[in-house]
């Protein structure tokens, strides 16, 4: 991604398929521990204040990457939906903007907008829609979506494994600048 944005600049309507059997992409900005902390936080788990001070920053995504609101209930809803209706088209998690997003505030416009989940045999696949994606932040977002797919798959009956993520971003840029 970084190479693409360096060569081409801003890319509109970027899409990529990502195998979710290995969704950890470490970088200097996002070493393994930072990826795990951010994903755990967005899955609704408690994070120590020391870890927040160490890893959380505006450059690493700030409040635009805060997807926690109601996540436990959203995960439970997806598990229930796919358990009762394995071929459902309703297994969707939406990430709402604040009540009325202001164009003057980045805090109001979440980057991840929606994730659709579906079963294909014993694989849990997903399609994620991002409003925007900075290539620098991609490792954190892909790790969170991978952790989310893994969490949902582990709660489904049978031996469901993470499959493929169909990833879409309306705009891809090199960094958060």
For domain 2-173, say whether CATH 3.40.470.10 is its number.
no
Q: How many residues does the chain have?
A: 177
pLDDT for the residue 111:
86
Which residues of the chain have a pLDDT value below 70? 98-108, 176-177
Helix, strand, coil percent values for the chain (each to nearest 5) = 35, 25, 40
Within 8 A by CB and 6+ apart from 53, the residues are none
Q: What is the pLDDT of residue 63?
A: 81
Distance (Å) of CA 118 to CA 47, 69, 75, 169: 30, 22, 13, 20
Distances (CA, A) of 13 to 97, 110, 153: 20, 17, 28
pLDDT for 54-96, tens place per residue? 999 888 888 888 899 999 999 999 999 999 999 999 999 998 8
Cα–Cα nearest to 44, from 23, 67, 26 = 67
What's the distance, CA 111 to chain centroid?
A: 9
Query: Dihedral sign, CA of 158, 81, 43, 25?
Result: positive
Residue with token string 């979506």: 145
Whole-model pTM over 0.85: yes
């Amino acid at each position: 991604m970084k190479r693409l944005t360096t060569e081409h600049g801003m890319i509109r309507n970027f899409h990529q398929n990502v195998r979710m059997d290995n969704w950890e992409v470490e970088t200097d900005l996002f070493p393994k521990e930072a990826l795990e902390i951010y994903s755990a936080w967005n899955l609704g788990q408690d994070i120590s204040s020391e870890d927040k001070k160490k890893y959380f920053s505006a450059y690493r995504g700030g409040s635009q990457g805060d997807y926690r609101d109601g996540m436990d209930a959203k995960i439970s809803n997806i598990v229930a939906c796919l358990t009762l209706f394995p071929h459902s088209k309703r297994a969707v998690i939406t990430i709402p903007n604040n009540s009325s997003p202001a164009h003057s505030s980045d805090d109001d416009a979440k980057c991840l907008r929606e994730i659709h989940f579906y079963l294909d045999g014993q694989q849990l696949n997903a399609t994620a829609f991002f409003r925007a994606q900075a290539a620098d932040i991609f490792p954190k977002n892909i790790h969170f979506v991978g952790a989310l797919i893994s969490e949902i798959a582990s709660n489904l009956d049978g031996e469901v494994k993470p499959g493929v993520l169909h990833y879409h971003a309306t705009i891809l840029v090199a960094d958060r600048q």
